């Protein structure tokens, strides 16, 4: 990731766009000016975004919380893979009609955000592919629209925080949701306890912690070929930057060593659930780990960065496994600093985790407060966000 000066002029947040199959189909990047009087360069922002989401590299929705910066983006010809969110008040303003029509003609996907207080210009209505309706403003109840009312634009529900809210949005006809449906502890079939597909990885982590022989560990892993394949795929992904291709689990131990191998197993644990509702949770856990590691890139050694990675990845295990973190971390070996952050809400990793949660909340005020508490500067935080999102895309 190049050192884009514009990353010092904004605050960033991100969240997933999730379809009815619980698949994350795009990432939403929320961009705030760092100060009310700041005038970030729209073209420079698009250049920075393109490093994470190049024209042929996945979809992103830009939620730019600044009328002047959004107006600049609208006049910069964004790449077709970028969806642009336009507040309803701007969509209703005839001053923006020409720009919206041009973007639509160039193949840009436009989303109208919020309920218009006045009818949209007739020329503008066909430009919007979707509308975004915040859960707090939702008036649908799942029944057909009242007589005389025709809803022609499919809607996306934003502000979703729980599985129940996600389910309700889809029942009311949303084609997708924006948000993090992770604010509740999920259980399998209404019962608590480790899901069977995860028990195997927990056991493997414990065996690696005991430094059992490579031959013994490889024999254990071969009993689950699917997980063995996924582990090899993760280790060989560009995100981890190894200079040699790992050809076997035994080879992985030789190249990585036991401590680094536990990192990859942690990632595997956080992404191995077969429950469709856990897809957004797994999406969050991977990005939490990568972001916490990136936030320490210039201020900590490899062991501390690895601890931060594991802390972020494990921070949502209670959602995936239906048990409290205190109970889970009694059965999975983790460094003391990770346990302190996740169970006691103390220690150096706790501040980083609060920073990540603020970024996920897409709240500029929470990001600023967390940055001050962690003594991190916005440019450093934003570069970490973009690097982590780029690395996570390589793992998806």
pLDDT tier for residue 144 given thresholds of 50, 70 and 90: low
pLDDT tier for residue 1 given thresholds of 50, 70 and 90: low
CA of residue 41 relative to chain centroid, distance: 25
CATH number at residue 133: 3.20.20.450
Most confident of 53-57, 167-171, 228-232: 167-171
pLDDT tier for residue 313 given thresholds of 50, 70 and 90: very high
For 161, the 3-state DSSP assignment is coil
* Mean pLDDT computed over 194-205: 76
Q: Which two tokens stand for residue 85?
A: 């969110």
For residue 322, the enclosing domain spans: 196-395
For 134, the 3-state DSSP assignment is strand
212 and 138 co-located in one domain: no
pLDDT tier for residue 186 given thresholds of 50, 70 and 90: very low
201 and 166 co-located in one domain: no
* Mean pLDDT computed over 17-39: 92
135 and 18 co-located in one domain: yes
Q: What is the pTM of this model?
A: 0.88
Q: Which of 150, 179, 208 is the last residue of a domain?
A: 179
pLDDT tier for residue 39 given thresholds of 50, 70 and 90: confident
148 and 234 co-located in one domain: no
138 and 231 co-located in one domain: no
The answer to the question of residue 363 being in a domain is: yes
368 and 273 co-located in one domain: yes
Count CB neighbours of 161 within 10 A: 15
pLDDT of residue 191: 46
130 and 272 co-located in one domain: no
Query: Which residue's structure tokens are 């010809």?
Result: 77
39 and 166 co-located in one domain: yes
What contacts 24+ positions apart, CB below 8 Å, involve 290-294?
A: 290/239, 290/387, 290/388, 290/391, 290/392, 291/356, 291/359, 291/384, 291/385, 291/388, 292/349, 292/352, 292/353, 292/356, 293/388, 294/383, 294/384, 294/385, 294/387, 294/388, 294/391
pLDDT of residue 260: 80
The answer to the question of residue 189 being in a domain is: no
For residue range 360-375, what is the model confidence (pLDDT) as tens digits?
A: 999 999 999 999 998 9
Q: Identify the burial level of 23 via C-beta atoms within 10 angstroms of its C-beta, where 0-12 means exposed, 13-18 middle and 19 or more buried.
A: middle
Q: Please list the alpha-helical segments (H only) found in 210-247.
A: 214-221, 225-235
CATH number at residue 322: 1.10.3210.10
């Amino acid at each position: 990731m190049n050192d884009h000066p514009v990353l010092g002029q904004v605050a960033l947040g991100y969240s997933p766009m999730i379809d009815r199959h619980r698949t994350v189909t795009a990432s939403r990047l929320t961009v705030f000016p760092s100060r009310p009087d700041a005038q970030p360069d729209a073209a420079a922002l698009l250049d920075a975004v393109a490093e994470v989401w190049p024209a042929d590299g996945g979809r992103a929705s830009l939620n730019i919380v600044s009328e002047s910066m959004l107006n600049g983006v609208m006049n910069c010809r964004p790449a077709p893979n970028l969806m642009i969110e336009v507040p309803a008040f701007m969509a209703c303003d005839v001053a923006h009609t020409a720009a919206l029509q041009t973007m639509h003609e160039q193949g840009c996907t436009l989303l109208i955000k919020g309920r218009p207080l006045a009818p949209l210009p007739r020329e503008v209505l066909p430009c919007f592919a979707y509308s975004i309706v915040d859960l707090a403003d939702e008036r649908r109840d799942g029944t057909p629209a009242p007589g005389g009312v025709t809803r022609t634009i499919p809607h996306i529900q934003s502000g979703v925080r729980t599985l129940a809210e996600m389910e309700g949005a889809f029942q009311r006809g949303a084609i997708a949701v924006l948000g993090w449906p992770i604010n509740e502890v999920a259980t399998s079939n209404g019962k608590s306890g480790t899901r069977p597909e995860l028990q195997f990885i927990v056991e493997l982590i414990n065996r690696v912690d005991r430094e059992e022989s490579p031959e013994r560990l490889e024999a254990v892993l071969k009993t689950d070929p699917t997980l063995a394949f996924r582990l090899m795929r993760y280790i060989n992904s560009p995100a981890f930057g190894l200079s040699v291709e790992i050809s076997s689990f035994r080879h992985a131990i030789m190249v990585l060593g036991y401590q680094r191998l536990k990192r990859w197993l942690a990632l595997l644990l956080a992404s191995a659930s077969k429950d469709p509702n856990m897809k957004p949770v797994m999406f969050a856990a991977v990005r939490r780990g990568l972001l916490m590691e990136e936030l320490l890139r210039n201020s900590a050694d490899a062991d501390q960065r690895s601890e931060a990675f594991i802390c972020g990845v494990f921070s949502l295990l209670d959602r995936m496994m239906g048990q409290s973190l205190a109970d889970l971390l009694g059965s999975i070996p983790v460094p003391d600093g990770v346990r302190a952050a996740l169970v006691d809400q103390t220690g150096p990793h706790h501040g980083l985790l609060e920073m990540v949660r603020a970024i996920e909340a897409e709240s500029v005020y929470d990001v600023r407060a967390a940055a001050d508490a962690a003594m991190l500067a916005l440019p450093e935080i934003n570069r970490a966000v973009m690097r982590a999102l780029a690395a996570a895309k390589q793992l998806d």
